[in-house]
Amino acid sequence: MTTKHQNRNSPKGSANFWPGLALGAAVLGLPLTLAIILNVGRAATSEQIKATAPLNVPRTGHTATLLTNGMHNGRVLIAGGTDSSGQATPSAEVYAAGAGTFEQITPMTVARSGHKAKLIDGGWVLVSGGEPGNTSEVFDPLNVTWTLVQPTPIDDLGPMAGPPYSTAVELANGRSRAGATATELAGDKKILVAGGVNSSNELVAAAAIFNPAKVSTDYDDYPPGDPVGITGSGFVPGEMVQLQVLHTDGTNDNVTSSAHDPWQVTADMEGNFTTTWNIPVNEDELGATLEVTATGQTSMLTAKAMFTDAAKTFDFTSISINICTASFTASASVNVGSTFTLSASVQNTDNNPAPQVSLTLGALPSGYSIASGSNPQSAANLAAGATFTATWTINAPATPSASATITVTGSTSTSGWGFKNGTNPRTIQVTAINPPTCAVSPASATICSGSSQTFTANPSGGTTPYTYSSARPR
C-alpha cells in the first residue's frame, strides 16, 4: 500500500474564501486584538459559528472578562454597557460554556458604558471609567460582590483587556453586529461573542460561540489512490495537531486498516498546517463517505471535514437487435443464413468525463460469428451524460436453432469507475428460424364483377402468430 500520509507545502487545489470576522477579544486579561478570517472551505463541516443562549440584558459598549477564580472560574463576566433604554446599566451576568447559558449576578455599584476591565491579582476584575462617570470598582469572584474604589486615572491602570468591542461580527444567522465583545473561553479556547447592535442599530441579546479552528479538503470527492489535500487553520501556533480519517458510519475497516490510524503534524507560527492522506486503492473506500478530524494537542480545538470516495458509474441504456429504440429486448428472432446488427449502449452517469469505457461481445453461441465490428469497442474521454454505442454485424447460423444467449460486458481500466449495480453484463436471447413462407391456393384466379373467389393461405416457418394483409393492384 502506498504511504498513508505526508506533510506537503501546499494543497492540490484551493479552497473557497468567504467574508470573515474581525473580533476584538479580551483573552486572560492580556491586551489583544484577535483578527480572525473565517474561511469556509470546500467540504468543511466543523461548526465554526454556533448560536448559544441569549444575554439576559441586551447591551452594547460592555466588557467581557474571563474569570480565573471563585465559583465562576472559567466563565465570562459580562458587565455594564448601554441597554435598551439607551442608558448605561450596572447589570452583570456570567456565561457558563458547559451549559451554554447566561446567569445574572450581583450588578455593579455604578451604571457604566464604554468602560474598561482588567483582570488583576487573585482573579479579581477591576472595572474603570466609562459613561456617565469616571469611577472604578472591583469584582470579587469569591464572594460575587462589587466594591467601589478610590478614583484612579485610567492611565495608571496599565494595559487593559483590549478594546471593549469589535468592529464587526458575523453571527450564526449570517447577520452582522457591532459593539459586541469577544472573549476566549478557557479549555477549548473557543470565543464567546456577546451583545452589540445589529445593522438597524437595535440591541441584540443573541450570543454565539466561534470556533477558530478549521480543517478542509482540496476536493469534495476523490478516486481510489488519490492523495487528499488537507488544510488546517486557527490552531495554536507551534502546537501538535492530530489528524484521523474514518468512515462516517463507524463501520468498514476503521479499526482494522492502518490507513485509519491517526497521525500528527505541527502547526506553523500562524496556527496553520497542510498534510495529505492517501486513499487506499484496494480496500473498502470506493463509494464511502469519510471524515477527517483535526485536534490541537495543546488547545484541544477540534475541527472536522467530510469528503467522499464515491464510485463514478456507467449505465447500460440499451441492447438490441435490428431495432432503434433505447430499451432492452428480452428476445429476438433472426432468419437462418442472414446477417443481423446487434447494438449496445452505455451512458456516463457521472458529472465528470470518463477516461475510458469498453464494450465486449462475449463468446457467441454455436453457428454464430462476427461479420464486422471490432471486439471489444472502446470510447475515451466520454463526456458527462454522453452515451457510447458499440455495433456488431453478426452472421446467423445456416440452420434453425434453439434460443441462444448473446452477452455484452462493459468494463473500464480506470480506478474509481464502474457500472451501476445490476446493469453489467447485459444479455439478449436469440433464436435462428427459417424465414416464413406462405403457399396460396389457387395461385391466381380471375374474378368477375359480382362473383367471389376463395384463396387458402398455408404459412410455414418463422414465428407465430402470423399476420396478413391484402395488396390491391395499382
Question: What is residue 155's three-state secondary structure?
Answer: helix
CA distance 91 to 104: 8
| β-pair type (354-361, 302-309) | unpaired
What is the C-alpha to C-alpha distance for residues 173 and 474, in angstroms, rounded to an integer? 81
Which residues of the chain, if any, have pLDDT below 70?
A: 1-48, 133-134, 150-180, 182, 186-189, 198-199, 210, 224, 251-252, 281-286, 311, 323-330, 415-416, 421-422, 437, 460-466, 468-474
Are 97 and 75 in contact, with CB atoms under 8 Å apart?
Answer: yes
Q: Residues with Cβ < 8 Å from 400, sequence gap 6 or more?
A: 336, 432, 433, 434
- Per DSSP, the residues of 231-243 read EEESSPTT-EEEE
Q: Nearest CA to 63 among 153, 130, 4, 156?
A: 130
The cell for 402 is 434453439
CA atoms within 13 A on the CB side of 350: 23
What pLDDT sits at residue 13? 35
Cα–Cα distance measured from residue 207 to residue 169, given in angstroms and rounded to the nearest whole number = 11
Neighbours of 396 (CB within 10 A): 23
What is the pLDDT, as a whole number, of residue 231? 95
For residues 164 and 178, what is the distance between their CA atoms, to the nearest angstrom?
Answer: 11
Alpha carbon separation from 190 to 47, 186, 234 (Å, rounded): 11, 8, 10
The three three-digit cell numbers of residue 456, written as one number? 387458402
C-alpha to C-alpha distance for 360 and 41, rounded to whole angstroms: 43
pLDDT of 261 reads 93
pLDDT at position 210, please? 66
Name the grid cell of 251.
Answer: 463501520
Task: Please give the pLDDT value at position 406.
Answer: 93
**Which residue, chain included where needed, has cell 489535500?**
229
Has this prediction a pTM greater than 0.75?
no
- Closest C-alpha among 260, 263, 262 to residue 248: 260
Cβ burial of 339 (10 Å; 0-12, 13-18, 19+) is middle
By the 8 A CB rule, do 90 and 83 touch?
A: no
91, HSE (Cβ side, Cα atoms, 13 Å):
21
Tell me if 269 sits within 8 A of 254, measured CB to CB.
no
What are the structural domains, with CATH classification, of the chain? 49-210 (no CATH), 214-309 (2.60.40.1930), 312-433 (2.60.40.10)
CB burial readout 76-86, b (16+ within 10 A) else e: bbbbbbbbeee
Q: Is 427 strand, coil or helix? A: strand
Res 351: pLDDT? 76
pLDDT at 102 (0 to 100)? 94
